């Protein structure tokens, strides 16, 4: 596993997707074990994206995570899409992970709830009460974390917001095959803010798509800017970015 440092951010480059997933799963297990040694139950935030597939496989294979003491929150959802629909992140997360590991509870966002202000208040209350200790995120084609597309708000202390999904993100969703056509991809979503994503004591970011190599280079080697939201990770010493070889292929390795 190649170890790099960009700003305050630790970057690990794995030789294979499987190694990436296993390393991130090991980190999650270690955090959960340490936190559960101090308290009876904890909460974590989980994302669902392409890079999470080998990670979820590794998590399902572990027997040392006390899921019965762990409550799971979600990073984002499509506005107007019920959690029961197959397109929802909640539905897919249950299918690929949560139905297997059976956490204490799972609280997805209700993207179809009206008025939306009530859902924002509900999820803010949940987040503040649960105080998640760890957050798992992916990084989008636009450099977004969750649905914080550029220009992202780095200053807000809100926990969750209604956000506009830009064309880069909507095309990424269509490319992933979540919706049948670009016309079906919602224009709005609910998302944890940058503040809420980076507030937990440990943050794990995973990327294994070769076509994200340009945005990985930009977020690590460029300036910290709200036009590349994930560049804020450079300021996060409590975060680790896990990459496979294709995702890291354009990086100029920093001097040691």
Q: Give the distance from CA 44 to its chain's centroid.
A: 11
In a domain, residue 8? The reply is: yes
In a domain, residue 40? The reply is: yes
Alpha carbons 47 and 60: distance in angstroms, whole number: 15
- 256 pLDDT exceeds 60? no
- 241 pLDDT exceeds 80? yes
Alpha carbons 148 and 76: distance in angstroms, whole number: 9
Alpha carbons 158 and 118: distance in angstroms, whole number: 14
pLDDT one-digit tens code per residue, 5-21 = 999 999 999 999 999 99
Q: What is the mean pLDDT of the chain?
A: 93
CATH of the domain at 142: 3.40.50.1360
Count of structural domains, the chain: 1
In a domain, residue 33? The reply is: yes
Q: How confident is the model at residue 50, as a pLDDT?
A: 59
In a domain, residue 250? The reply is: no
CA distances from 242 to 106, 108, 143, 216 (A): 25, 25, 15, 11
- 51 pLDDT exceeds 70? no
In a domain, residue 86? The reply is: yes
In a domain, residue 15? The reply is: yes
In a domain, residue 67? The reply is: yes
- 82 pLDDT exceeds 60? yes
Sign (positive or negative) of CA dihedral 154, 115, 142, 167:
negative
In a domain, residue 256? The reply is: no
* Residue span of the structural domain in which 131 resides: 2-244
């Amino acid at each position: 596993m190649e170890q790099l440092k960009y700003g305050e951010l630790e970057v690990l480059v794995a030789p294979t997707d499987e190694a990436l997933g296993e390393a991130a799963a090991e980190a999650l297990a270690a955090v959960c074990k340490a936190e559960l040694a101090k308290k009876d139950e904890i909460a974590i935030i989980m994302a669902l994206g392409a890079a999470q597939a080998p990670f979820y496989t590794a998590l399902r294979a572990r027997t040392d995570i006390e899921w019965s003491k762990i409550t799971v929150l979600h990073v984002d959802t499509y506005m107007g899409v019920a959690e029961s629909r197959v397109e929802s992140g909640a539905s897919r997360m249950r299918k690929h992970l949560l139905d297997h590991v059976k956490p204490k509870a799972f609280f997805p966002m209700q993207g179809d709830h009206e008025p939306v202000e009530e859902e924002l208040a509900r999820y803010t209350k949940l987040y503040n009460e649960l105080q998640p200790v760890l957050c798992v995120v992916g990084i989008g084609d636009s450099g977004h974390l969750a649905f914080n597309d550029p220009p992202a708000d780095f200053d807000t202390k809100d926990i969750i917001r209604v956000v506009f999904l830009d064309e880069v993100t909507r095309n990424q969703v269509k490319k992933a095959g979540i919706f049948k056509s670009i016309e079906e991809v919602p224009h709005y979503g609910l998302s944890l803010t940058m503040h809420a994503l980076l507030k937990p004591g440990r943050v794990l970011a995973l990327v294994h798509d070769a076509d994200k190599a340009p945005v990985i280079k930009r977020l690590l080697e460029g300036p910290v800017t709200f036009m590349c939201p994930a560049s804020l990770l450079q300021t996060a010493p409590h975060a680790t970015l896990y990459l496979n070889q294709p995702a890291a292929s354009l990086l100029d390795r920093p001097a040691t």
